[in-house]
Amino acid sequence: MIRGVRGATTVQENDELEILENTKELIEEMINRNNIDAESISHVFISVTNDLNAAFPAKSLRQIPGFVYVPVMCMKEIDVPGSLARCIRVMMVTNTTIHQQNVQHVFHHEAKQLRPDLEQRRKRPF
């Protein structure tokens, strides 16, 4: 079954190293929590808010062993007034046997406020 795994994180500054480190940390947790291997991934979309342009966050995926050939695309997030600043969002599309309600979406730093319902669910044991 094809499933989407969501993730989001924020950075404090428009800084290349921080963007790459926070994105890598987020993606690694998405992979680990959902037992994803590179061969099962169809593609990954990464969006950033307008205030981030110091790096392509997709570059961080290339630092993960086995992920060199995973198709990744970066894009700008819709600039909605009052939305969360310095935010990086990830949509990973993967083939998995995990039921939709058991997919572990991951939110780090200030991005936890985007989906508090999923953050609460994540803290419960399965």
* Residue 124 among known ligand-binding residues: no
Contacts of 31 (CB under 8 A, 6+ apart): 37, 64
Q: Can you give the pLDDT at residue 124? A: 47
Residue 55 sits in a domain whose CATH number is 3.30.1330.40
Beta bridge partners of 41: 94
The pair phi, psi for residue 45, each rounded to 5°, is -105, 135
Residue that is written with structure tokens 């205030």 in the block: 51
Indicate whether this model's pTM tops 0.85: yes
Task: Work out the number of other CB atoms within 10 angstroms of the CB of residue 79.
Answer: 9
Q: Can you give the pLDDT at residue 117? A: 82
Residue-by-residue DSSP string for 21-41: HHHHHHHHHHHHHTT--GGGE
Q: Domain count of the chain? A: 1
Question: Residue 94 is part of which domain span?
Answer: 2-123
Q: Tell me: the pLDDT tens digits for 16-73?
A: 999 999 999 999 999 999 999 999 999 999 999 999 999 999 999 999 999 999 999 9
- The amino acid that residue 89 corresponds to is R
Q: Tell me: the pLDDT tens digits for 73-103?
A: 999 999 999 999 999 999 999 999 999 999 9
Helix (H) / strand (E) containing 94: strand 87-95
* Residue 33 among known ligand-binding residues: no
Q: Can you give the pLDDT at residue 27? A: 98
Q: Can you give the pLDDT at residue 116? A: 84
